[in-house]
């Protein structure tokens, strides 16, 4: 069974469109994240949710809107896609938060978004 699963794995779309990426984890973790990996493989955190509540919101355009219907799911919706949004987006999860969290992140396989 896949621990952290993302769909779709590949997404090709036109500028200006709206798209969503879904993420689910079956590890029972209470914290989930979205990371963006650019073409130079640099990883940057975008959002972090703990028990469905937004905890970390890095400097991300408000065209990006995460939604967490429950602690096992964290979806990412992107409005008005731009060329610079092309990247691989990784979902991840971990157990515990703040001082309670000394554990590692578990990553999904990534969703490669290409904006034409």
Partner 1 sequence: AQSVAQPEDQVNVAEGNPLTVKCTYSVSGNPYLFWYVQYPNRGLQFLLKYITGDNLVKGSYGFEAEFNKSQTSFHLKKPSALVSDSALYFCAVRDGLGAGNMLTFGGGTRLMVKP
Query: How far apart are alpha carbons 16 and 37 in whole angstroms?
Result: 21
CB of 54 to partner 1, least distance (A): 11
Interacting residues with partner 1 between 33 and 52 (CB under 8 A): 33, 40-45, 48, 50
Interacting residues with partner 1 between 50 and 89 (CB under 8 A): 50, 55-56
Residue 99: closest CA among 33, 34, 50: 50
CB 45 within 8 A of CB 38: no
- Does 12 bind partner 1 (CB under 8 A)? Our answer is no
Candidates 19-27, 60-68, 79-87, 108-116: pick the segment binding partner 1 (CB under 8 A): 108-116
DSSP string, 61-77: -TTEEEEEEETTEEEEE
Residue in 13, 67, 72, 106 binding partner 1, rule: CB under 8 A:
106
Query: How far apart are alpha carbons 18 and 83 in whole angstroms?
Result: 13
Structure tokens at 40: 């130079």
CB of 73 to partner 1, least distance (A): 17
Applying CB under 8 A, the residues found at the interface with partner 1 are: 4, 31, 33, 40-45, 48, 50, 55-56, 90, 92, 94, 97-99, 101-102, 104-110
């Amino acid at each position: 069974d896949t621990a952290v699963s993302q769909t779709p794995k590949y997404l090709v779309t036109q500028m200006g469109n709206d798209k969503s990426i879904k993420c689910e984890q079956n590890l029972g973790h209470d914290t989930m994240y979205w990371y963006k990996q650019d073409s130079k493989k640099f990883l940057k955190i975008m959002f972090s949710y703990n028990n469905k509540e937004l905890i970390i919101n890095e400097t991300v355009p408000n065209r990006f809107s995460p939604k967490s219907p429950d602690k096992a799911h964290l979806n990412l919706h992107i409005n008005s896609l731009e060329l610079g949004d092309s990247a691989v987006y990784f979902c991840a999860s971990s157990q515990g938060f703040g001082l309670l969290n000394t554990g590692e992140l578990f990553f999904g396989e990534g969703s490669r978004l290409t904006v034409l």
